[in-house]
Chains A and B, each alone.
Chain A
Amino acid sequence: MNGLSYHAFDVWWWPWVFLILAGWAANDAWRLLGVAFSGRLTETSRLFTIVRSVATALVAGVIAQLVLQPGGDLASTSLALRLGSIACGFAAYRLAGESVSIGVATGEAAFFAGAWADL
């Protein structure tokens, strides 16, 4: 794609510049600010709840992308299998009294069972 993407330049250092700026700096800046301002803003403040909703929706978008347009070997599986596995995982999570571990294990099991059954 265009712009200064991760694979934009065929030099060894560019991916590291990308990772340091977009990965480390964009992330750790918040922690450093948190130390600088420690004890002043509470987690229940209105601004913070808005920031949290935006962050959650953003990460939800990434999750959708990982399922709808996955990379690697997952890309060669059917969309129905991927969505079905997530649905089975969610159902198991609910049935098991909101247990994330059981949900994840069931979702993975459904994926392999479905792949074996050639879904």
Chain B
Amino acid sequence: MPADSVSPPPTSAFGWFLAGQRQFVSLPAVILIAAFTGFGGLAHASGVGLAETVFLVAFVWALPSMIVVVGAIQAGAPLLATMFAVALSAARLMPMTMALIPILRAEKTPKWALYALSHFVAITAWVFGMTKLPDLPREGRAPYFAGFAVTLTVFNMGVAAAAWLAAAKLPPLAAAGLVLLMPLYFALSLWNAARTSPTERLALIFGMAIAPAMHALAPNLDLLLTGLVGGLAAHVIGSRLKSVEADLPPSTFGPADPAALVEVALVEEEGAR
């Protein structure tokens, strides 16, 4: 099948899968690869094994949850506290999935296929699905999405593994730079994704500011406390700023310019509206 975009629409599910796969070469995907390079380095530095690192990429597939898990492992947090922290950081995946599924499904799409495909809901694939799928015939959507999302995931499993292996071989300073990539990337991309929401930016600032105090207060529950205290404080104060928020430009999501979408896709966090 020719690789150009003017080829006739596929006639089989497999044809749609391949068409989706070809969409893999894109700027958001490249940025995501850089992020997974950072994750591989971070996982290595935190004492997480190679197989365990690849497992996290494949079976969690949401960077915030993944760094929460790795952070908890490094800090020696107990299982239950870690589960709560991950569940809190992942709750946003539910409404994202709820929004995508009606677009994704065709009349004949089996329920199990929707449950399986939901695993790939994370910001990059989600933005891809929400923007590209509505233009396609219904029967092509699920395989097209699968082609893109599965390729992205499998490729990044390899990227994280390569970064993990490289981290073990790199000189100490280069390895340190690799570990720094993750907080640097996350701080900037979360800040950027929250550009239309003062509440989200407050949540980021509060979370970073109170984390050391929460750690001193309750070393095992610091992440949970940071999220609850910082997030609720941001919500209360942010609600008072609602009048300001109303004056800001509306959704960056929609028929918006591609650059905005790329920036949105920078992070596994959907707070960009």
Residues of A within 8 A of B (CB): 1-8, 15-16, 18-35, 37-45, 48-74, 76-77, 82, 85-86, 89-90, 93, 98, 100-101, 103-104, 107-108, 111-112, 115
Contact = CB atoms under 8 A, between A and B. Distances in A.
29 contacts: A8-B78, A26-B82, A27-B90, A28-B119, A30-B91, A32-B118, A33-B97, A38-B98, A39-B101, A43-B273, A52-B271, A54-B228, A55-B92, A55-B227, A57-B207, A57-B226, A59-B68, A59-B269, A60-B203, A60-B226, A61-B211, A61-B222, A63-B186, A93-B191, A100-B31, A107-B180, A107-B188, A111-B177, A115-B173
B172 interface: yes
Contacts, number: 358
Interface stretch (B6-14, B42-50, B131-139, B145-153): B42-50
Contact of A67 (B60, B82, B183, B204): B183
Contacts of B165: none
B185 interface: yes
A22 B86 contact: yes
Nearest to B189: A100
A71 B192 contact: no
Contacts of B206: 57, 60
A23 B69 contact: yes
Interface of B: 31, 34, 41-42, 44-47, 49, 52, 55-56, 59-62, 64-69, 71-102, 111, 114-115, 118-119, 121, 167, 172-173, 175-177, 179-192, 194-195, 199-200, 202-212, 214-215, 219-220, 222-224, 226-232, 234-235, 238, 263, 266, 269-271, 273
A100 B189 CA distance: 6
A5 B48 CA distance: 13
B83 A63 contact: no
Contact of A38 (B73, B78, B102): B102
A59 B190 contact: yes
Contacts of A67: 183
Contacts of A45: 95
B176 A72 contact: yes
Contacts of B238: 53
Given A56-B204, A64-B208, A98-B263, A23 B31 contact: no
Given A18-B79, A58-B227, A27 B92 contact: no
Nearest to B99: A43
